[in-house]
Amino acid sequence: GAGVSQSPSNKVTEKGKDVELRCDPISGHTALYWYRQSLGQGLEFLIYFQGNSAPDKSGLPSDRFSAERTGGSVSTLTIQRTQQEDSAVYLCASSGQGTFGGYTFGSGTRLTVV
């Protein structure tokens, strides 16, 4: 597509439930990134996929968080047993030119855990 698409745009879930957040990157972009944006905390790196390489999971805050990328395209971020501190905006970005080109971001998914 023309841009990075994320769905849903908003998600309200009950504490303890699992959620899945979807990211559809720009066609042909080999790199895909997930960041979390909490109020006043800037962007926190979560996970990074590049081509067929093993993902860099170094930013995932706990084992309740996982992500996969199917066919080198769409990615799903899964949060199990959600907690209130998981409430944030989850941003996905993709890149076709590496660090040189910067990222193209989606509009994000606002997750609220009640």
Partner 1 sequence: AQSVTQPDIHITVSEGASLELRCNYSYGATPYLFWYVQSPGQGLQLLLKYFSGDTLVQGIKGFEAEFKRSQSSFNLRKPSVHWSDAAEYFCAVGADSGYSTLTFGKGTMLLVSP
Nearer to partner 1, 5 or 13 (CB): 5
56 binds partner 1 per the rule CB under 8 A: yes
Residues near 32 by beta carbon (within 8 Å), at least 6 away in sequence: 23, 25, 48, 49, 50, 69, 75, 92, 93, 94, 95
CA distance 5 to 37: 17
Closer by beta carbon to partner 1, 64 or else 110? 110
Smallest distance from the beta carbon of 92 to partner 1, in angstroms? 9
Site for partner 1 in 89-108 (CB under 8 A): 91, 93, 95, 98-100, 102-108
7 binds partner 1 (CB under 8 A): no
Strands 109-113 and 10-13 come out as parallel
Residue closer to partner 1 by CB (options 82, 109) is 109
